[in-house]
Structure 1
Amino acid sequence: MKVIFEYHDVSPSESLEAFTKEKLEPVFNRFEFVIRADVFFKTENTSSDKTGMICGIRLSAPGPRLFAEASHDEFHASVVETINELTRQLQKRKEKMKTY
């Protein structure tokens, strides 16, 4: 399990990285074929107060890479929504995988 963090217009945060790793741990345990996660944090000027803190996660697994992104008023909520979306994508991929 390898997690790489990238920040765009955001200062790095160890607590945010620890939170993200904690939330990704069950994903890596449940779907052992996932090799790596690239996590992107960025801010965006929006007209709404409920969006703007964007978290994007790209997972490396067999087949095409999986990607999900969410925008909320804080990064923690964006991380949770992004991981939920990736879990749905991983479940679909696992159902399609052939076991030999």
Structure 2
Amino acid sequence: MKINIQFVTMPTSETMQNYAIEKLEKMARKYDSIISVEVFFKKENDPKGNGKICEMVVSLSGPRIFASSNEKNFEVAVKSTISDLEKQLEKRKAIAKPYA
């Protein structure tokens, strides 16, 4: 699995990069159909206190899967985004299983 991480309009964070890679590698062990993942970290001014955005695009055989979350910190945003991706991957896995 190939992982591409980009920090949009903000400085690169080695800690966040390592955290995201660690979480994505756990997900990749569960779903071997993942070809690559693109991760985007963005910061926005949000009056509610959120504004730490994590977006992920997962390439599989077939259509891509996308998830995004806007949280108070990037760690929570990564967890939330991966959780959304896993739900979508489970649905895809259920559809792809041949019926006996």
Q: Under TM normalisation by the shorter chain, which class is it?
A: over 0.9
- Deviation string 1:53-91 (CA, Å, 9 cap, x unpaired) is 000010000111000000111111000000000000000
Aligned length: 99
Superposition CA RMSD, Å: 1.3
Matched residue SS, 1:34 = coil
Q: Give 3-state SS (helix, strand or coil) of 1:38's partner.
A: strand
TM-score of the superposed pair, with normalisation by structure 2: 0.94
Stretches of structure 1 lacking an aligned partner (at least 5 in a row):
none
The CA distance in 2 between the partners of 1:69 and 1:84, in whole Å, is 10
- Which amino acid counterpart does residue 43 of structure 2 have in structure 1? T
Give TM-score, length-normalised by structure 1.
Answer: 0.94
2:15 is aligned to 15
Instruction: Quote the Cα distance in structure 1 between the aligned partners of 2:23 and 2:97.
Output: 27
Percent sequence identity is: 36
**Which residue of structure 2 aligns with residue 37 of structure 1?**
37
5+ long unaligned stretches in structure 2: none
